[in-house]
Amino acid sequence: MDFHTALVFIVWWVVTYFFIVSSLVFLRERKTLCAIPKPFEAMPKISIVVPAFNEEKGILDTVNSLLKINYPKELLEIIVVNDGSKDRTAEIVQPYADKGLVNFINNAKNQGKAASLNQGFRASKGKYVACIDADTIVEPNILLKTINYFWDKKVASVMVRVQVREPKNWLERIISVEYNLGLGFYPKLISCLDSLYLTPGQFSI
C-alpha cells in the first residue's frame, strides 16, 4: 500500500467513524438536546471580558451589543482589556469607561490574548465569567439562554452557536454553514460524551 492510498484510507476511516459516533449520540440524546433548564431563582453576577488588539472596526458594535443584553445592570460587569492597540481602539472605548458603562483596562504594551483574558479574569467580580472576541455581537437574551445551564454542577462551561452576520458571498455562506456545524451542532453532540475540549472565543462562559 503506497502513501496516498494509506492516506485516503485513514481519512475515510476517520470520517466514517466520526459520522457513525455522531449519529449514535444524536439518536441517544435526541430528546434532551434542546432541553431548556429552569431559570435561577436569584440571578448571579456575571462578568464579560473583552480582549481587544487593533479592533477599531468592530469594538464599537461589540460593546453596544453587550450593553443591550437583557440582564439586570447591577449584576452585569463588562471588562474591556485593550492589549496595547496601535489604532483607535482605546479612543473608542474610553468614553464608555468615563460614563461608568465598562471597566476599561488600557495596557500600553501588547501581551497577547491569553494574558489579556487572564488580566480581565483577575479583575472580574462576577460569580461567572464570560469571554467574547472584540469583533463579535450578541443577542440581547444571550445570558438568559446560557447561564441557567450551570444548575448542573457537572457543567464547567457553556458556549453558544456562532453565526456569520449577513453573509454576502458564496465563501461567507460556506463559512456560515461550517460555523453552524462546527460551532453549534457538533460541539453539542461532543459535550454529550463529556469530550468537549475547548470553547470558542466568540462567546463562552
Whether residue 124 is predicted with pLDDT greater than 80 in this model: the reply is yes
d(CA 152, CA 14): 32
CATH number at residue 117: 3.90.550.10
Residues 135, 111 share a domain = yes
E strand or H helix that includes residue 14: helix 3-29
Beta carbons of 130 and 49 less than 8 angstroms apart: yes
CA 113, 118, 124, 127 dihedral sign is positive
Q: Do residues 84 and 53 lie in contact, with contact meaning Cβ atoms separated by under 8 Å?
A: yes
More confident residue, 20 or 177: 20
Q: Select the more confidently predicted residue: 2 or 33.
A: 2
The predicted pLDDT at position 110 comes to 92
Question: Could you tell me which of 155, 157, 162, 166 has the C-alpha nearest to residue 202?
Answer: 162
What pTM does this model have?
Answer: 0.82
Mean of pLDDT over the chain? 88
Dist. CA 5–CA 25, nearest whole Å:
30
E strands, 84-194, are: 103-107, 128-131
Q: Does some domain include residue 141?
A: yes
How confident is the model at residue 22, as a pLDDT? 80
pLDDT at residue 184 greater than cutoff 80: no
User: pLDDT at residue 46 above 90?
Assistant: yes
Stretch 168-176: mean pLDDT: 83
Same domain, 121 and 91: yes
Instruction: Print the domain residue range for 72.
Output: 46-151
pLDDT in tens, 7-44: 888 989 988 988 888 888 888 877 776 777 777 778 89
- Together in a domain, 27 and 101: no
Are residues 55 and 89 located together in one domain of the fold? yes
Based on the fold, state whether residues 91 and 17 are members of the same structural domain: no
- Look up residue 200 and give its DSSP letter: -
Report, as an integer, the average pLDDT of 165-170.
81
Number of domains in the chain: 2
